[in-house]
Structure 1
Amino acid sequence: MTMRVAAIWRYPVKSLGGQEVPSAAIEARGVAHDRRWMVTTPEGRFLTRRELPAMAHFHAAPTIGAGIVLSHRDGTSLAVPVPDNAPLVRVRVWGDHVAAHDAGDPAAQWLSALLGQAMRLVHLPDGVRRPVADGEVTDHVSFADGFPLLVTVTASLDALNRELASPIPMARFRPNLVIEGAPGAFAEDGWQRLQIGHVSVRVVKPCTRCVITTQDVDTGEVIDRLEPLRTLRAMGRVMPGDSKLREPIFGRNAIPDGLGTIAVGDVVSVTA
């Protein structure tokens, strides 16, 4: 069976709702418009659904000119232009300190009021390069946790769901590229390089999973605080060499080796 792209997702603001799209430009940082914006504390530390599950109530859609429209499930929305002329501020994503533009008081006040605590919205400018820790010297990434792309496989989700009392959707894993037609579950373990349409992609390492996978995609409500993490561990889906921590894994982190456009239905070939 031929492997193909089954779905493409982008998440314009880190940890807010994602968008499934029929095609997407692939840039050095990954899918265009993916995680170029981020919510932070007033001091610049990144915030995610791990500590604020209500971030699931928000979505963000790119606009012409690379701005975004933020929307909340209460029906309110706010247009935010790219803050190119704003001063650079220092923000933190995990262990990385990155220069970003603050998006201004209106966005900060709107988010703060709805989430119940003070926060800021920032944008990663084109000229700032955040290195990929496990990549080549020229590789760089957006505000994603660590890599430009997350690739998941439908056959692997099918295998996981057969072990779960209640099946879960792929969206719980927040992938960028979903691939169907793999020869078997977790075939991605052996992939080192893929050709997806006209774009070559390096498959670098497994993706460790966190409590966000236990939350409902749209509400942030914890469905089961143990699943699917417990079952992934029971299936032996843990970070290699991580016998003590047993960090569960699902999907593969990847880095594009060129620019191009990927569309749903594109053929996927394993080239290494």
Structure 2
Amino acid sequence: MAIYTLSDIYIYPIKSLGGIRVNETLVEKRGLQYDRRWMLVDEKGNFLTQRKFAHMALLQVELTDTGFLVSHNQQKMAPLQIPFEANDEKTKLVSIWNDVSFAFEVTAEANAWFSEALGMPCKLVHMPDNAMRHVDPEYARPNDLVSFADAYPFMMIGQESLNDLNSRLAEQLPMNRFRPNLVFTGGSAFDEDTWTEFTIGDTTFFPVKPCARCLVTTINQETAEQSAEPLKTLATYRTQNNKVNFGQNLIHNGLGTTLKTGQQLEIID
């Protein structure tokens, strides 16, 4: 029987900006601690995404003792420090896909920094703990919540699945093209497609829907340059119901538990 090991954990504190690899993190109701709890919106409150603004990839995020440090890969701008603590002075309704949620506007300083960095007016908002954004009930339970992630608390990919894709490409791609939360080693390509329940430590996960891939996978996360790959190749063997699938979306049981790289995945069903 194959042995599956959690090899990488990623969080993306600000939606559509750079991710952070961590060795351990807490599991919360909406997913991993700090994951996509912040988001950039336009003047109307609509979320900003690399799908429309590829240069968002140039903004990188680092974890510090008191919050996050955001910097620009190409522009000479002083980094922006964002504290963990939410500022509840300004409440704002924001839109993400078909959902509307209330959020807190972080600071005027953050708004100005991101507006300059991206070359367009925008605001940074934070999702408070009492915001209720639900996972699609067609694939989840009524009380399942999600942050500003596209739709689900977690997304997972097996390293062998990426290895399989890279074996078909002229140029190898890193895992950051696919922005997973959890990466595991072991087994065969696309084993994750066959699971309905597994555990990591004290947390139980349920793969509920394949992850349909979008244009973000075609954006180089270091340079913001775009190409046809990997969607062109994935479409030849990973298309189902007119969608290109790669990775699995997860819901979960188990709050306040810790995930650590090196833990084993136990396949239940």
Structure 1 length as normaliser, TM-score?
Answer: 0.92
1:77-132 CA-to-partner distances (Å, cap 9, x unmatched) read 11233343223211011110001001121111111111111001000001112100
Counterpart in the other structure of 2:60 = 59
Counterpart in the other structure of 1:68 = 68
The one-letter code sitting in structure 1 at the alignment partner of 2:104 is: H
**Stretches of 4+ moved more than 6 A in 1?**
none
Q: Secondary structure at the match of 2:239?
A: coil
User: CA shift at 1:63, angstroms?
Assistant: 4.6
Between 1:8-17 and 1:185-194, the stretch displaced more is 185-194
Counterpart in the other structure of 1:265 = 262
Counterpart in the other structure of 1:78 = 80
Q: Secondary structure at the match of 1:227?
A: coil
Are residue 131 (structure 1) and residue 134 (structure 2) matched?
Answer: yes
Whether the 8 Å CA contact 1:112–1:119 is kept in 2: the answer is yes
Q: Secondary structure at the match of 1:248?
A: strand
Q: Return the alpha-carbon distance in structure 2 between the equivalents of residues 4 and 197 of structure 1.
A: 11
Q: Secondary structure at the match of 1:168?
A: coil
Counterpart in the other structure of 1:221 = 225
Q: Secondary structure at the match of 2:193?
A: helix
1:229-268 CA-to-partner distances (Å, cap 9, x unmatched) read 1211111x123xx1xxx22110000012112111111000
Whether the 8 Å CA contact 2:58–2:221 is kept in 1: the answer is no
Q: Return the alpha-carbon distance in structure 2 between the equivalents of residues 27 and 257 of structure 1.
A: 10
Are residue 5 (structure 1) and residue 6 (structure 2) matched?
Answer: yes
Are residue 196 (structure 1) and residue 200 (structure 2) matched?
Answer: yes
Are residue 107 (structure 1) and residue 104 (structure 2) matched?
Answer: no
1:4-57 CA-to-partner distances (Å, cap 9, x unmatched) read 001000001000000011111111111111000000101100001111111111
Counterpart in the other structure of 1:185 = 189
The one-letter code sitting in structure 1 at the alignment partner of 2:123 is: R
Q: Return the alpha-carbon distance in structure 2 between the equivalents of residues 63 and 37 of structure 1.
A: 16
User: CA shift at 1:75, angstroms?
Assistant: 5.2
Which runs of 5 or more structure 2 residues have no equivalent in the other structure? none
Q: Return the alpha-carbon distance in structure 2 between the equivalents of residues 200 and 103 of structure 1.
A: 33
TM alignment of 1:159-178, pairs within 5 A: 159-178=164-183
Indicate the RMSD between aligned Cα atoms, in angstroms: 1.4
Q: Return the alpha-carbon distance in structure 2 between the equivalents of residues 197 and 253 of structure 1.
A: 19
Are residue 35 (structure 1) and residue 32 (structure 2) matched?
Answer: no
1:153-184 CA-to-partner distances (Å, cap 9, x unmatched) read 011111111111112111110000001102x1
Are residue 250 (structure 1) and residue 246 (structure 2) matched?
Answer: yes
Q: Return the alpha-carbon distance in structure 2 between the equivalents of residues 187 and 36 of structure 1.
A: 30
User: CA shift at 1:143, angstroms?
Assistant: 0.3
The one-letter code sitting in structure 1 at the alignment partner of 2:247 is: G
The one-letter code sitting in structure 2 at the alignment partner of 1:257 is: N
Whether the 8 Å CA contact 2:87–2:105 is kept in 1: the answer is no
Identity %: 38
Whether the 8 Å CA contact 1:12–1:62 is kept in 2: the answer is no
Q: Return the alpha-carbon distance in structure 2 between the equivalents of residues 218 and 10 of structure 1.
A: 17
Whether the 8 Å CA contact 2:88–2:105 is kept in 1: the answer is no
Q: Return the alpha-carbon distance in structure 1 between the equivalents of residues 64 and 92 of structure 2.
A: 23
The one of 64, 87, 91 equivalent to 1:88 is 91
Structure 2 length as normaliser, TM-score?
Answer: 0.93
Whether the 8 Å CA contact 1:13–1:36 is kept in 2: the answer is yes
- Equivalent pairs counted in the alignment come to 262
